[in-house]
Amino acid sequence: MARARETYRIYQTGEYLVAAELCRRGLVATPFAGNLPHYDILALEWNGQHIPIQVKTIGPRSSWQFDAQKFVEIRMGEGGRQILGEPQDPPYLGLICVLVQLGESYGKDRFFVLDWKDLRDIIVASYRRGLEKHHGVRPRNPQSTHAAIYPEELAGYKDNWELVLERLQGPSKANH
C-alpha cells in the first residue's frame, strides 16, 4: 500500500509541475483528476487553441517504463523470437509527451518535451537494439514487451517547451 501511495505521489507531482510550467509560459493548463487513457493535461492558448499532453514521471535515479507494443507492432516467431513490424500511430493526434525526472531536491527537476512520434522512435530504436543483441529473443522472458528509457537518451529534448508553444501559436509567434 505504501509503495502504491508513493508511486501515485510521484505521478501527481509530475503532472502538477508540468501544469505549473505551462502556466508560467502564459498558457492555461488543466490537469485531470482521473486517469485518462491518452493524456493527462490539456494546454490551452487564450485564443482557444488546445493540445493534449501526456506526462510520465520518475524519481531521481530511475527510468521510464513502457510497453513497446504501444509503439510498434510486435509478432512472436519461432523459439520466442520477436519480429518488429510497423510503428503504431499516435493514440491522439498532436499528442505531446513530457517526461519528468524529479530531482533529489526542490528545483532540481528535469523536463523532456517531445512529440509522441519522437518518443515512439526512441523507444522502438532502443527496443530493436536490445533484440538484436539477443538475436530477437528476450533473454529472461521471450514474451515480454517491456521497454525502458533513461534520461540520457532524451538529452536533446530537455526543456523543449517551444514545441508546445509552436503547436499552439504557430512557429512565428512562439519565437517572440
133 inside domain? yes
In a domain, 72, yes or no: yes
- Average pLDDT of span 95-100: 97
For the chain, the average pLDDT equals: 91
Decide if pLDDT at 136 tops 70: yes
pLDDT band at residue 176 using 50, 70 and 90 as cut-offs: very low
* 145 in Cβ contact with 130 (< 8 Å): no
| Domain-located, residue 67 | yes
**If pLDDT is split at 50, 70 and 90, which confidence band does 72 have?**
very high
Q: Is 176 a member of any domain?
A: no
- The pLDDT score that the predictor gives to residue 171 is 57
Amino acid identity of 30?
T
**pTM as predicted:** 0.91
Is position 52 within any domain?
A: yes
At position 92, the amino acid (one-letter code) is Y
Asked whether 65 and 144 are in contact (CB, 8 A), the reply is no
174 part of a folded domain: no
Residue range 1-22: mean pLDDT, rounded: 87
Determine the structural domain holding residue 133 and report its residue range: 2-169
Please count the structural domains in the chain: 1
Q: What is the C-alpha separation between 147 and 157, in angstroms, rounded?
A: 19
Q: Do the domain assignments include residue 106?
A: yes
- Measured torsion, CA atoms of residues 118, 119, 125, 126, in degrees rounded to the nearest 10: 150
- Mean pLDDT lowest among 35-44, 100-109, 133-142, 149-158: 35-44
Helix (H) or strand (E) holding 169: helix 162-169
Q: 75: domain CATH number?
A: 3.40.1350.10
Burial class of residue 114 in the structure, from the number of CB atoms within 10 Å of its CB (0-12 exposed, 13-18 middle, 19+ buried): buried
| Amino acid 50: pLDDT | 93
Confirm whether 91 is domain-assigned: yes
The 3-state DSSP class for residue 141 equals coil
